Amino acid sequence: MNSDLKHTRNIGIMAHIDAGKTTTSERILYFTGRVHRIGEVDDGNATMDWMVQEQERGITITSAATTTFWKYRDQLYKINLIDTPGHVDFTMEVERSLRVLDGAVAVFCAVGGVEPQSETVWRQANKYNVPRIAFVNKMDRSGADFFGVVQQMKEKLGAHPVPVQIPVGSEEDFDGIIDLVEMNAIMFEESDDPLMNFTIKPIPDFMKEEATEWRMKLVEACAEMDDSILERYLEDHESITADELMAVLRRRTVEGVIVPVFCGAAFRNKGVQRLLNGVAAYLPSPIDVGAIHGRDPRDDREVMRKPEPDEPFAALAFKIATDPYMGRLVFMRIYSGTLNAGDTVLNVRTGKRERINRLFQMHANKQNPVETVYAGDICAAVGFKDLKTGDTLCAINKPVVLESMEFPEPVIWIAIEPKTQADIDRLAIALGKLTDEDPTFMVKTDPDSGQTVISGMGELHLEVLIDRLKREFFVECNQGKPQVAYKEAVTTSCTHRELFRKQTGGKGKFADITVEIMPADNDVTGLTFVNGIKGGNVPREYIPSVEKGFREAMMNGPLAGFPLVSLKVILKDGSYHPVDSDSLSFEIAARQAFRHATAKCRPVLLEPVMNAEVVTPEEYVGDVVGDFNKRRGKVEGMESKAGARVIKAKVPLAENFGYVTVLRTLTSGRATSTMEFSHFEEVPAELAKKIIEVTTGKFF
């Protein structure tokens, strides 16, 4: 089994929107023989974009997994492939995929280069230490610049890109690739059979000088990282063999030090086979990644699980999908041990046992049943009763908690209501299934109006979810206007004493606490609770109740009932009654203290601010900047790229609804924009006053 594991690759395709991820994935499936017809995004028949919403919009919404095989150097490699979305609204899909992958292929558009979402996914890959190789796609497009993209990777991503290929020509004249490791040319030819559209030839004379120069840079990059190569380089650099270079490149790629760069044009079937060779040659196997670290929930000590079939079983559930026939499909990455259909495992979060009825190997939305899965596999299972994204599953007698995932807070919400009485029950079931699937999608009931409020990562995110309600679950909804998910914060500190007393004859209620409330430290979210009680003025068993009271009270801020981003509370003193005091009394006292004290700490309203980036022709720059100024935006920089201007700005989300339509009008449809959440910022006082008045109905 271990020898197989050595030849297993768990990889993801990640990139900015429209860089060509799904097109590259489709070619990988075709060239590996997994499909016998090339699917196209533009035709709406791509294998990996199987959702109706994906096919209509031509974008990837949900990450799709498949397993395929590729022969490289007479060895068969098993490739578990996940195609991830590029749109910022679905960044959570990228996050949870990268958490369980061993390596990634970062796709860049040869014209657009390193775009905003490229930077986001790169940071996500850094967070989970995922080794990468890069593929510069669309080399046949007008304005393609391979070396410009390599330079941008250095400047914008802080990466160490090392080209292992250089293109022969570009744009319409993109005719081939020079392999700098083997020092030969792969020349593309017109052919009815995409599998045979190239021949391997000696390097053409007009490219020899450039190829020699870049080969030297490749050897130098390897020499910097390996002493034996350095010695050879100083003596006779021409004696360094391709295998020696590849060994160093592989080792340093697995360590995350360098990023080998490939090039091609996936749509024209150029360069994808070589990219597959690169996946096999440079990206890590589960063995290279090594043991995963976790904690034993019984005594909190650190434990390790090696990627071996005879180790105790451990897996991470990284995605939940609803299948109309199967019910809840749970996607898992198996880190250690072996799992058979029918086995019972432990869910560490709930402490309950779960029986696995059936196991599947996935191919987009199709399930292939399997009896057994092993360490290093990515699979799907059915049979779970209570499971959430990020849960650890493990052997019953050897519990372990693996690092879970953190998901961003929603920034936008809308109110929805079912159209008919029959839709009411169906809506509750459907929303339950969608929240199971998507941790960034939240549902709550507004306590004042009784409306169902749904929150998500952007307009497109909520639009897709409402469309799914209609098509998958047959629920028709009326929806309100999109609203901003505001937050609140305190800006000063104060000390407050709260006495809660209720005497009714017989056993009453009593709690007395003195607390200091202040803003939390920078970059800390949620409640920071410090117990400063000395001498037992408040018994130890009541302290958690005080913390719980404050934590729950934070969901409703003092200004307009929006949640507080962060808060620091120090419990300084207090007293209790031996008969009347209980946990509930201290919890109520904490809630009242929160309400009274936060009102004195100069509370402010916070709004989500977005990073906006607009690529526009030169003649529209003035109009775009003027429009940003109207929207309370701050233009932070401007640069030229491929004959256009790139404008970067920070704009409050509240001013940004429907921006894409306005931008099209301003620029005659020639500009493009991207947005992603940046941070929360204080709302100007006049505007805050209006928001509070509208939200609470109180007028100042």
- pLDDT computed for residue 170 by the predictor: 81
Alpha-carbon torsion, ordered 341, 347, 351, 356, to 10 deg: -20
| Cα separations in angstroms, 505 against 500, 508, 577, 580 | 16, 7, 15, 11
How much of the chain, in percent, has pLDDT values that exceed 70? 92
CA angle 402–405–409, rounded 5-degree value: 155
| Cα separations in angstroms, 188 against 20, 28, 70, 131, 179 | 20, 17, 21, 29, 13
10 Å Cβ neighbour count for 422?
Answer: 12
Looking up tokens 């704009």 gives: 651
pTM for the full predicted model = 0.74
Mean of pLDDT values over 669-693: 85
Per the DSSP assignment, residues forming a β-bridge with 260 are: 162
pLDDT beyond 80 at 416:
yes
- pLDDT computed for residue 60 by the predictor: 56
- pLDDT computed for residue 2 by the predictor: 44
651 neighbors 628 (Cβ within 8 angstroms) = yes
Orientation angle between helical segments 242-254 and 227-236, nearest 10 degrees: 150
Report H helices in 32-115: 52-57, 91-100
Mean of pLDDT values over 650-662: 85
Which helix (H) or strand (E) segment holds residue 462: the answer is helix 459-472
pLDDT beyond 50 at 174:
yes
CA distance 537 to 540: 9
Q: Which residue has the higher pLDDT, 235 or 348?
A: 348
> In this structure, which amino acid lies at residue 453?
V
Q: Which residue has the higher pLDDT, 196 or 611?
A: 611
Which one, of 420, 308, 306, 319, lies nearest residue 92 by Cα?
A: 319
> In this structure, which amino acid lies at residue 619?
E
CA angle 56–264–166, rounded 5-degree value: 155
pLDDT band at 1 (very low <50, low <70, confident <90, very high): very low
Q: Which residue has the higher pLDDT, 639 or 48?
A: 639
Q: Which residue has the higher pLDDT, 292 or 38?
A: 292
- Token output for 480: 């309100």
CA distance 108 to 133: 11
Mean of pLDDT values over 491-506: 86
81 neighbors 91 (Cβ within 8 angstroms) = no
pLDDT band at 512 (very low <50, low <70, confident <90, very high): very high
10 Å Cβ neighbour count for 473?
Answer: 17
- pLDDT computed for residue 672 by the predictor: 78
Mean of pLDDT values over 494-514: 86
Q: Which residue has the higher pLDDT, 447 or 372?
A: 372
- pLDDT computed for residue 55 by the predictor: 58
| Cα separations in angstroms, 519 against 452, 559, 567, 598, 687 | 31, 16, 5, 10, 22
621 neighbors 645 (Cβ within 8 angstroms) = yes
Per-residue pLDDT tens digits for 227-272? 777 777 677 767 778 888 899 999 999 999 999 999 999 888 899 9
Give the three-class secondary structure for 421: helix
283 neighbors 103 (Cβ within 8 angstroms) = yes
Mean pLDDT of the chain: 85
- pLDDT computed for residue 177 by the predictor: 94
Choose the most confident range, by mean pLDDT, from 61-70, 213-222, 439-448, 449-458: 213-222
pLDDT beyond 60 at 491:
yes
Q: How far is CA 531 from the centre of its chain?
A: 36
- pLDDT computed for residue 364 by the predictor: 64
Which one, of 201, 59, 657, lies nearest residue 50 by Cα?
A: 59
- pLDDT computed for residue 3 by the predictor: 47
pLDDT beyond 80 at 283:
yes
CA distance 60 to 463: 14
Per-residue pLDDT tens digits for 290-345? 889 999 888 888 999 999 988 999 999 888 877 777 778 888 899 999 999 999 99
- pLDDT computed for residue 189 by the predictor: 84
- pLDDT computed for residue 46 by the predictor: 55
Q: Which residue has the higher pLDDT, 596 or 664?
A: 596
pLDDT band at 24 (very low <50, low <70, confident <90, very high): confident
